[in-house]
Structure 1
């Protein structure tokens, strides 16, 4: 009898916990949605409801897989209206603007500045600590800049031009004594730096993989019959990965062996020692990144999904779906736990790779295609840019957005507002204690 009573009490306790969990989750989601739909002219009320929803989410028994996305979006929208600069028509995280589409963003060696490139032919350097300052123009050309990349030591930027070769650009006056701007006019499909070396790798229009030093000496290390959109070199062993328009992932392993990629019988030959090609489908592979531990290759495709590839075992891990259009850029966070993707669907997304059940954070305030994105060196913020000509900077942790609200508002919810937006059955609490 005692055992039955204990079991019954435990069951009631678990049921009560589940009900409390469900009730708090529904409250958080309801408050987040009410904050989102509240008009912007009710700025403070909109922000306080979002902040209180965050407090319930952070401190309560809430299902994390349901509500974290709603909480982030409500906090972001509230901060957007709190930080709006009507004179310059800029929101709080709108940190830069070009005169044409932003094609690429990369951080410098420190977390306080970053570079952006545009189809306007300019590369600008932005100071995060002084977001209203005029950016430094570090390079200007009449050519269309397809993308930029930073060398490992942070001393050289590579600008890849659309159909017109590339340029190597020193990032500071001190480094100009070491290297001048170097123009390589040979048209390329794409290019990348070789990690830890003063060399870069290009794919020519004819499909030759050419390794070049800054002194312009060159060596052919591979050949492909495919159209290559992205190159990535593994820091561990020097393996070259290439994403193709035809949906084939290609790789050349050291020692490199120069021969035509075996497209006709690709599935039979992909485990060769020096070369392999794996057909992932008919969708174009647009972007690649290698995880910090070197074990996973992230692949962004035209289909709008992300393929995670097991590097040591050369096989598929899983496919992540979510974007509604082409994935344009992809990057692991510095600790490898998160993945940033950008897309022509107008959003960037931050995926938690440690828990596949968790919905991604959706960053959706660009008014056009999002073409590029990058984590900062600390992993606490990301920057994005796209066809609307703006560069935006987003915090990864919603705690920053919640904290910012209470630094800008000098009041709390009134009792009447609490009763309406929280509930008369929930004890009143101060949202922003001073």
Structure 2
């Protein structure tokens, strides 16, 4: 089994804190997610997360106007410069201070950084210089503000920029010394200035303050009464032009304060977000309100607008919301929200295309692996959802909750069709489902019994007694013959629930059992216990075959209050969750640690350790602690300095004493790193882990790394294209596989005629079969040539079927990917056919409107139908009932 899994995507969280950035084309949105950055492609309905990770949570991000360089800065001022197109980190830099705003100039030559009260302007790294040793060159430092700078705004010609500060003023600066220009201070606001903006002609300025005031500034001379007042003074100054307030407007939102604002110069749109979750859209300079809408119950932390001015993006950190709103049509382009609380469990769908997550907030979310978006959310549970399981047949999901109910969900109609409850009120913590989908079993920490229900009738079938402690984990064998349960009474029991006598075979452990799992073939059990051991037992003999001591492997990362090193600390030295790989050769385990460990089942050896996070904002991720942060009052990071805040709403303490889980904005302790659940994909090409930061996806498929296979010096892109031009298809395909560049393989693959597919596959060396199957399965998800892909699958399976069958263990993951691909094509075609049938039925049943449509309707009538039937359709475009809407015959997605 391959073990080179790499981080692929981050789901379950769409926004944490910081600012949002649209790409120059306005089709994608960048959002900070913890210590990573995610990109949401709004046009193609996809998302991805950059592979690089900061040491702490990302505070500010900025994208160059050309869309090539991404600059992200964390809470401590450490920046990472990334090639946005190739998603490759280029350079690390430290601004040595907390960054409050970061903006590129419109021409892309400079970028401005607000570090507290000072402003720094840096030159943008250039690609023209080869191997720059120090790509960050400081242009100039600007000082003058007496408090934190909130916002930076560049002029359209990149010669001037504005700064809005917490000291109630705004300032105008010039990038380079300009003749006749003097840095100007704009005062008059009574609260902190959120932002100051240029108009399109740069003759007008707009400043927005926290108290809801909007000032309009123009470069004019004094008014008449001001001139008379100046003439009366002995030290009168001659009348001169300067920036003056010509108009004052107010939002009038009651007690709500302004949290964020943005201005679009081309369309003169001012967008303002308030602390009440309301945003307003105004047309400047007349201050005409276009509309006001409530999108959240919490503060709107940031708002931005794309270059065309059509889409508005809003972010709310307290609820983890990310919204993209098209204000002209008043419709949502994107509406995503992560879990409000910690994720407890996850499970893949049988086809491997989706992941279901459950959390303490009582919500169940369905995530699409391909797009990275949440498809639907179920909110019927009234308390935390602790476990979930999928039936092997059909799209039926089962969930267990602390509200005392087991619910069954239909993932075709997206509804809850069955609810199971126990005779007494219990809080269920574990769940499993019979492979046939007929019996559902659940265990509780309150009772020591295992409850069984019939899925068809919803009736309680039986209660299995035998455990002397709470039941922590349940699992069914793949053939449904046995049920295994793990308990805190130091035993694992194997139940034969379908036999005449329900006999349980107890397997004695050394400590509390936390999780159990069946091997896919049903012949072996893996169990992890509180002492950090992973035990493997044979089901037939009820004998322990091997065990692994994982205390050293899982230990790592010190809590902020630990007085001992991670190696000597007793906390977190055990695994809480375990699962087998798709082929049953490996097990994946995780616990209250920053490591996920992959073990080989046969030898018990450690294959690989995956680090979940390096985010120092989460407790338990760093190996060594700095002694200067340990004071007499405890760790300096846990000392509450909120009472010293200048704003009243920041001084009010609404936190929960001692809470380490729940809403991050109302905690008095830092969140701790933990892995609550792990699961392998049915294809075996990826696995998912539910952690403190969200749902992490690790995959073997990464096309952004150069991984050649048996490469020779004469294999180049030019030689491959030359071979393809000479119609030497087999040689060109083998050369492209050896170079392993996706675009070259794609070009050669689609250039092979359909008539030559069988000949090419017949002569293809078997060493390339794995790469060919993997490539076709991946490319079929984004290519419209469905029949062409099926011809390749048919040729490979018919010509090399015996070899693949004999090497089932080697090609297991590839064959599962092929199965997933074929099932996906079948489902998509069936949906498309049903939609076209319904459209045809509607068109054929439309009432007759004119004689002109009779002759044209005959083409659509079914064979043997009567011409006198009222099935005519008017096809001319003169009527509002025009039948030219032939878009109904195509897929709604444009396929």
Query: TM-score, normalized by length of structure 2?
Result: 0.29
**By how many angstroms is 1:318 displaced?**
0.4
Name the residue aligned to 1:251: 536
Tell me, yes or no, if structure 1 residue 151 matches structure 2 residue 402: no
Query: Aligned residue for 1:304?
Result: 594
Equivalent residue runs for 1:28-427 within 5 Å: 35-36=29-30, 50-51=42-43, 62-63=85-86, 77=322, 81-82=332-333, 84=335, 93-131=376-414, 133=415, 135-140=417-422, 142-164=425-447, 165-173=449-457, 181-185=461-465, 186=467, 187=469, 188-214=471-497, 217-220=502-505, 222-236=507-521, 238-253=523-538, 256=541, 274-281=545-552, 282=555, 283-323=573-613, 325-343=673-691, 345=692, 347-354=694-701
How far is 1:315 from its partner? Answer: 0.9
Aligned ranges 1:17-28 → 2 under 5 Å: none
Are the equivalent residues in 2 in contact too, given 1:96–1:126 (CA < 8 A)? no
SS at match of 1:339: strand
Note the alpha carbon deviations across 1:98-133, whole angstroms, 9 max, x for none.
1000111222344533122110011112222333x4
Q: Distance in 2 between matches of 1:246 and 1:142?
A: 31
Higher helix share: 1
2-structure distance, mates of 1:228, 1:291: 21
What is the deviation of 1:65? 6.4
SS of 1:123's equivalent in the other structure is: strand
Contact 1:108–1:154, Cα closer than 8 Å, also in 2: yes
CA distance in 2, matches of 1:230, 1:212: 16
Distance 1:243 1:32, change over 3 A: farther
Once residues 315 and 356 of structure 1 are traced to their aligned partners in structure 2, the CA distance between those partners, rounded to angstroms, is: 29
CA distance in 1, matches of 2:435, 2:513: 23
Residues in 1 aligned to 2:426 and 2:47: alpha-carbon distance in whole angstroms: 50
More relative contact order, 1 or 2 (CA 8 Å, 6+ apart): 1
Q: How many residues end up aligned between the 2 structures?
A: 299
Unaligned runs of 5+ in 1: 1-26, 39-45, 67-73, 259-272, 359-377, 381-431
C-alpha separation between the residues in 1 aligned to 2:531 and 2:703? 28
Shift of 1:53: 10
Q: TM-score, normalised by structure 1?
A: 0.57
Q: How far did 1:255 drift?
A: 5.6
What is the distance in 2 between the residues matched to 1:134 and 1:52?
31
SS of corresponding position for 1:117: strand
User: Alpha-carbon deviation of 1:301?
Assistant: 1.7
> Alpha-carbon deviation of 1:279?
2.8
C-alpha separation between the residues in 1 aligned to 2:546 and 2:432? 25
Counterpart of 2:35 in structure 1 is none
Contact 1:146 1:162 in 2 (8 A): yes
**Structure 2 residue runs without a partner (length 5+):** 1-20, 33-38, 50-67, 69-83, 90-314, 316-320, 326-331, 337-362, 366-373, 556-572, 619-672, 706-818, 822-892
Q: Shift of residue 206 of structure 1?
A: 3.3
- Structure 1 runs (4+) greater than 4 angstroms displaced: 27-34, 52-57, 76-81, 89-92, 354-358
Q: What SS does the aligned partner of 2:29 have? A: helix
Residue 366 of structure 1 corresponds to which residue in structure 2? none
Q: 1:98 to 1:56 in 2, by over 3 A?
A: closer
**DSSP-derived class of the 1:274 partner:** strand
The CA deviation at 1:246 is: 2.1
- Cα gap change, 1:64/1:209 in structure 2, threshold over 3 Å: closer, same or farther? same
Q: Label 1:122 to 1:83 Cα distance change in 2 as closer, same or farther (>3 A).
A: farther
- CA displacement 1:122-172 (0-9 Å, x = unmatched): 1112222333x4543133551010021112222221101114122122222
Q: Assess, with a 3 A threshold, how the Cα gap between structure 1 residues 30 and 304 changes in structure 2: closer, same or farther.
A: farther
Structure 1 residues 235 and 333 mapped into 2: Cα distance closer, same or farther (>3 Å)?
closer
Alignment RMSD, CA only?
4.5
For residues 406 and 679 of structure 2, the distance between their equivalents in structure 1, rounded to whole angstroms, comes to 21
Q: Which residue of 2 aligns with 1:4?
A: none
Distance 1:356 1:162 in 2: 45
- SS of the residue 2:43 aligns to: helix
Q: What is the distance in 2 between the residues matched to 1:192 and 1:56?
A: 33
Residues 283-327 of structure 1, C-alpha deviations (whole Å, 9 max, x = no match): 220111111111121111210321111123321110111245211
- Rg larger in 1 or in 2? 2
